[in-house]
Structure formats: C-alpha cells, structure tokens
Amino acid sequence: MQEAAAVQPWLVWGILAAVLMLGAWMRMGSYLYWLGAAAILALVEAAAGCRLAIQIATFAAASSVPALLQRAVSSRRRAGGRGAQRPPGC
C-alpha cells in the first residue's frame, strides 16, 4: 500500500502539461506547445507504470527535437530565408 502523502509521478506530469499547454495557448507560436506535448507523453508513460528515468528521457527527446526544428524554421524566416517573402500589400 502506498503512503497517502506520496506524490505520484503522473500527477506531476499532468500539472506540468496543463501549465505548459496554457502557456502555449497564451503565447501562440511558442516552444511551450512542444514541451506540453512531451509532458503528455511522459504522463501516459507514468500512468502505464514506466520508470521515472524512461519518463524523463521521453520528455527530453520529445520536447527537444521539435523545439529545435521550430527554432531553426523561425530564425530562417526572420532572416529572410525561404518562406519569408510575402506578396505586395500584405
């Protein structure tokens, strides 16, 4: 039997996912969306009973790759790369 005062990992991931998704909703186009999605994946793993190390590794991998790709695309557009040109009048 578990202690009543023990914090369950799925609860922490759930709160983290909710806060990150709320932040992503407040700031459209931010990296917080990817962090929230990764926290949801870790939440599913925690609910399935996976070890904490696996949850953290999943969170790190699932959040870093899309966030870095989004950052590269955003910096390319700001620098005037492909996709940055707009038709006249826009």
Instruction: Give the pLDDT confidence score for residue 90 in this predicted structure.
Output: 55
Instruction: Give the pLDDT confidence score for residue 32 in this predicted structure.
Output: 84
Q: Are 45 and 58 in contact (CB under 8 A)?
A: yes
Total count of domains within the chain: 1
In-domain check, residue 29: yes
In-domain check, residue 2: no
Instruction: Give the pLDDT confidence score for residue 24 in this predicted structure.
Output: 85
Concatenating the DSSP letter of every residue in 27-74 gives STT-THHHHHHHHHHHHHHHHHT--HHHHHHHHHHHHHHHHHHHHHHH
Q: Which residue has the higher pLDDT, 73 or 35?
A: 35
**Domain range for 34:** 9-78
In-domain check, residue 4: no
